Structure 1
Amino acid sequence: MMNYSAAILVVLFAFLENGVVGEELSDYLWKQTAKYHQEALVSNYIQGIRAVSLDPTEFGAYNVQDAVYVYWFKESIDIAAVRTTDTALKQFLQNKSKSHDVEYKKAFKAWHINDPNGIHLGSACQNYVNHLVDVAMTMDGNYLVTALIPCARLWPWLGQQIGADSGKFGIYNKWVQENLNPSYTGYTTYEQVINEAFANGTITKEKALQVYGESMMGEVAFFNSVSKTIRQGLHEEL
């Protein structure tokens, strides 16, 4: 018969093998993808914004695609909402769909987009969209929630790193303030959902990390899809 001390060691080993004892799934996923946070921070787009040296054409091209990305973000939520039989999850997804319906329509109006299918997405954005739709169509709805967290949590973190409240971003000040708000905590509502799903055994840590990690890589690839920034200081000469 296993003695008490040995039993405790076995339990601790099982916990430590999959993360820190008592650690929430959401925090585990964030820590495990730390290298992608740094890659996003040094990406062409973020550094171009930070240095106020991003070519305005590249800025526009990114944001037109991002508007379509938000449209598909919302569509993937709708797909998952239809598929799930979990009443609480369905209600959560439907509420998020409504808020993102407003968001994508606002972006479409700003960028004069009538039909999202009329916009040719670059491979980075298209692959990211494909990932979200695939998760929504083939996996439990909680995995779709997992796949959506990187976008929601990474952007305010980037805002913290570059001092989004400093007002030092020239023509990009408005965009930075609206999109990289370091005070934004809306991602925590998504994290509560997946933490409960994990605690209930609905989703696994391994599969959640796979889905979450692919979304983080999608963020990095999309940020790097813009060309290298224009020569430092050129904007000062204009």
Structure 2
Amino acid sequence: MAIFEASGRPDRGAAKAARAHLPRDFRGLRPKTPDRLGIRPWTPQFATRFELPNASSRNAGAIHRAIANSPQTYSVRLPGIVTLHERSPNMRGNRRLPDISDIIEKHQLSTAPPPADSLFWKMWRGVQDVATDTLALPYLQGINAGTLDPNQYGGYNVADAYYCFEGADAYQTAVSKTTPNTPLNAFLSKKLAGYQRYNATFPDTWHVSSAASISPPQVTKDYAEYEGNVAARLDPIYCLIVMIPCEYLWAWLAGQMNPPQPSNVYGEWITENNDPSGAYAMGNFLDSYMTQNPGVLDTSYAQLIYGFAQIYEYQNFAAATGTQPNDAAHYGIDKPAIPPS
């Protein structure tokens, strides 16, 4: 199913006009089932929602053009139709690892919460106040209530595309520095494969072909550069460290939210992200890695790497709604020095 949203007045005439101008093969609708093309108030500013059960991302661009270029559509008061976007059926964080059950099974990793005195929890506790402030941001509160402006949701995802495009090369470098058939190699390879697979969807879903097509907020550029430098210049174990804030913070945020109501169009964001098992597996692996490789990982430095990544996560969510965030100094965190390549 392809789901499209466009800012405008909730007007049944608009639905009829838009449907009339879709290519017949893409409608997925019969004339006597107008209820399948739903119109409802969607944000405080209102939006129009088009559901096409038989459409897919392959023809999303054609559907976009068919509606956006229709004079009749404009005549029925849909001036925001050019902001049309497709909502992915899966709202799990783009930068989070895909399914890692194969890694867990092959390497016998635990998905239970790591021990209370583990490095995982030490890093988390050091910036838990950042997580609390992240949850309070308008973007996350809008997700929780189902009232987030779809343009802001789409804008965040397009900016995130920049991050993913930039991250793929850095993770390729990090993977090359690991030993094959080890858990660390498996985690980083999975991250790289996830980026590559996700990046391949962008031309159809968001109509961008590379990072050069995107003008993200400066903080997104900074975060992409930061993670890229960690992945390319440091021992690959630190690449795992810089991944964990995304993996665990998103799960924690979703876990703090209300069980989504059926009417919450962002309900899948909450349910899909409410899974800390992958982050826990990474945390448990860190403990065993440090035991098997004493002296390789500097825990104080790891806490800096982790903490600054968490700051960037917070600031990126803030940028999505134009909210002024706190800086790292507010939390007493210094940006870690990363040696030049």
Using the size of structure 2 for normalisation, the TM-score is: 0.55
Alignment of 1:72-221 (within 5 A): 72-84=166-178, 88=182, 89-107=184-202, 109-163=204-258, 165-167=259-261, 170-178=264-272, 180=273, 182-199=274-291, 200-201=293-294, 202-221=296-315
- Native 8 Å contact 2:164 2:199 kept in 1: yes
Unaligned stretches of 5+ in structure 1? 1-20, 230-238
Q: CA shift at 1:119, angstroms? A: 0.7
- CA distance in 1: counterparts of 2:191 and 2:156, whole angstroms: 23
Q: Identity over aligned residues, as a percent?
A: 25
- Native 8 Å contact 1:65 1:121 kept in 2: yes
Deviating more after overlay: 152-161 vs 169-178: 169-178
- CA distance in 2: counterparts of 1:45 and 1:70, whole angstroms: 20
Partner of residue 138, structure 2: 44
- Higher helix proportion (structure 1 or 2): 1
One-letter code aligned to 1:191: G
Give deviations 1:74-123, integer Å, cap 9, x for gaps: 33321211234576233442233223322333355321221222111211
Unaligned stretches of 5+ in structure 2? 1-114, 324-341
- Native 8 Å contact 1:198 1:205 kept in 2: no
Aligned length: 206
Q: Structure 1 residues 48 and 91, CA, compared in 2 at 3 Å: closer, same or farther?
A: closer
The higher-RCO structure (CA 8 Å, 6+ apart) is 1
One-letter code aligned to 1:40: T
User: What's the RMSD between the two structures over aligned residues?
Assistant: 2.5
Partner of residue 12, structure 1: none
- Native 8 Å contact 1:79 1:136 kept in 2: yes
Q: Structure 1 residues 62 and 92, CA, compared in 2 at 3 Å: closer, same or farther?
A: closer
- Higher strand proportion (structure 1 or 2): 2
One-letter code aligned to 2:169: E
Q: Structure 1 residues 172 and 144, CA, compared in 2 at 3 Å: closer, same or farther?
A: same
Partner of residue 152, structure 2: 58
One-letter code aligned to 1:203: L
Aligned-partner SS, 1:166: coil
One-letter code aligned to 2:319: S
Q: CA shift at 1:48, angstroms? A: 2.1
Q: CA shift at 1:71, angstroms? A: 3.2
